[in-house]
Amino acid sequence: MTKNEEFKSIYDYTLDELKGMLKPSFRAKQVYNWLYKKYVSSYDEMKNVPKELKEDLEANYPIDVMEIIKREKSLDGSIKYLFKLRDGVTVEAVLLLMKEKKIGEDGVVERGEKYTVCISSQVGCKVGCSFCLTAKGGFVRNLTVGEYIAQIVNIKRDNNIPENKALNIVYMGMGEPLDNFNNFTKAVEIFSELDGLAISRRRQTVSTSGIASKIKKLGEKDLGIQLAISLHAVDDDLRSELIPMNKAYNIASIIEAVKAFPVDTRKKVMFEYLVIKGKNDSIEAARKLLSLLNGIQAKVNLIYFNPYPGTTYQRPEVKDMLKFKDYLNERGLICTIRESKGLDISAACGQLKEKEANGSTWDSTFDIYRNSSGSVSSRFLCK
Ligand code: SF4
């Protein structure tokens, strides 16, 4: 039995599939409404669904696919979740809150909140990036389609996020989404169902460590989602050191695959670039990056490398980051320095899971994690 069959759930299905499964088919829309507009956590709550059907669904397609076992709330409002799945393994997701400025109907500036949720794709990961905690645990298994969907439903429920409030999804948590291709692409489809969560595909961004063959395959499916590439280096030696999979898919093959990827004329492919002092922070590296990305609707996001115990790499100087950024911007390539959210929580991929495994403590309110060493991380998300 595959994990998909073993851990099937009601969240695995598109509306059309459910219509084919439930008789009469209008029940499918009712069930969808309870799941994705009301975020119910049990079939009991589905008031207009007959008892026998609920019992049948409960027995065959469970709703409770994961439980929240930890949450860390940052002072900036971001919340990191640790979920326990049915086989006892854990994955993380992060809700990032950003301030939003909108002009209301009466012309008055309103302040609101913008939600972005970073979700996981796998338990563990095969890619083995040298700077990543998730990589250290090796690969355990792919998430099912339902486990992708349940991360968002749980977070929306936990925060009472109104069903009509726009939300962005980044597939940037634990694991490599393109290595879980079929489940990930089906999740994109279910997330965007108008009768379901209705999260537009333009609001969904997949971040990949650069499996060139799968970027091509994804481009051919033309799902309308955004693409982000963890590039991190302009030469193959350094990139292979950081992301060993670069030996199989080198920089040239990734760039070729990205050039074939359909990008909306108003959108850009994001290139994440982890800046390491003395390794890839020179103007020469910026020049190479500019030339590599020539002909791509690209934007570059610089990330400060944050040293962790055992690494020989160092954090870059602020002045070098700014020089790098200015060099690209002055030549027409949009470049930003990543604003780190969740600085006071373990928001980088794998940190909360590791902390839980090491038995770190939580304060009595349960919401704010007290880091015993007092240190904070400026990395967030995995890639
Ligand atoms: S950074 Fe992402 S792709 Fe790389 S090992 Fe970690 S989880 Fe996998």
Q: Could you tell me the pLDDT band of residue 34, with boundaries at 50, 70 and 90?
A: very high
pLDDT at residue 352 above 70? Answer: no
What are the tokens at 318? 């602020």
Q: Cβ(141) to ligand 1 under 6 A?
A: no
The span from the CA of 195 to the CA of 144, in Å, is 21
In this prediction the pTM is 0.88
The span from the CA of 261 to the CA of 383, in Å, is 20
CB 218, CB 261: distance < 8 Å: yes
What is the DSSP code string of 293-355?
A: TTTS-EEEEEEE----TT----PPPHHHHHHHHHHHHHTT-EEEEPPPP-TTTT-STTHHHHH
Rounded distance from Cα 230 to ligand 1 centre (Å): 10
Q: Cβ(245) to ligand 1 under 6 A?
A: no
Identify residue 77 by its one-letter amino acid code: G
Q: Which atom of ligand 1 is nearest to the CA of 125?
A: 8
Rounded distance from Cα 147 to ligand 1 centre (Å): 19
Q: Cβ(173) to ligand 1 under 6 A?
A: no
Which of 141, 274, 380, 383 maximizes ligand 1 atoms within 8 Å of its Cβ, making it the mutation to test the pocket? 383
| Segment 139-144 mean pLDDT | 97
Q: Is 61 helix (H, G, I), strand (E, B) or coil?
A: coil
Catalytic residue flag (residue 349) = yes
Active-site annotation holder among 92, 147, 176, 272? 92
Residues 84-104 have pLDDT tens digits of: 999 999 999 999 988 776 666
Q: Cβ(307) to ligand 1 under 6 A?
A: no
Query: Residue 34 — left, alpha, or beta (φ > 0 → left; ψ -120 to 50 → alpha)?
Result: alpha
